Amino acid sequence: MAGGPYFRATHPIAGSDLDGNIFLCTEGATKSSFSQGIILVSRSTDGGTTFGGPVVVFKPENSNDFPDKPWMAVNNFTGTATPAGRIIVTWTLFQSNGSSPVMRSDSDHHGPTWGRPLAGHA
């Protein structure tokens, strides 16, 4: 499968950090019907010529929750309250109980690891 283990990807968001890394955040389909989704980030260290495999930012614990509408920002400012280079990914988590909190996770390590998903703002 040329696209990896996901049936399709949607909602791409791109960003770059002060070290020249390029990041691509997407929502991937884990079922062909796209009834289950996952939030992913891929990283390029060569100016976008190639990208490493996607890293999971968030995967729902069950099929009752659906992450949608991801967004990403990279802090490219030194001297701020959050570390320069921090990547923040947000998404809406549509839940079967009718709730739809905005969730977030961040990485201070250029994308290979991500913090625990949290609801709300930083």
| Cα 122 to Cα 111: distance, rounded to the nearest angstrom | 18
- The model's pLDDT over 72-119, given as tens digits with 9 standing for 90+, comes to 999 998 888 888 999 999 999 999 889 999 999 999 999 999 999 999
| Cα 107 to Cα 114: distance, rounded to the nearest angstrom | 5
| Cα 50 to Cα 71: distance, rounded to the nearest angstrom | 22
Whether the model clears a pTM of 0.85, i.e. scores above it, the answer is: yes
| Cα 53 to Cα 17: distance, rounded to the nearest angstrom | 18
- The model's pLDDT over 20-72, given as tens digits with 9 standing for 90+, comes to 999 999 999 888 877 889 999 999 999 999 999 999 999 998 888 999 999 99
- The model's pLDDT over 4-19, given as tens digits with 9 standing for 90+, comes to 788 888 899 999 999 9
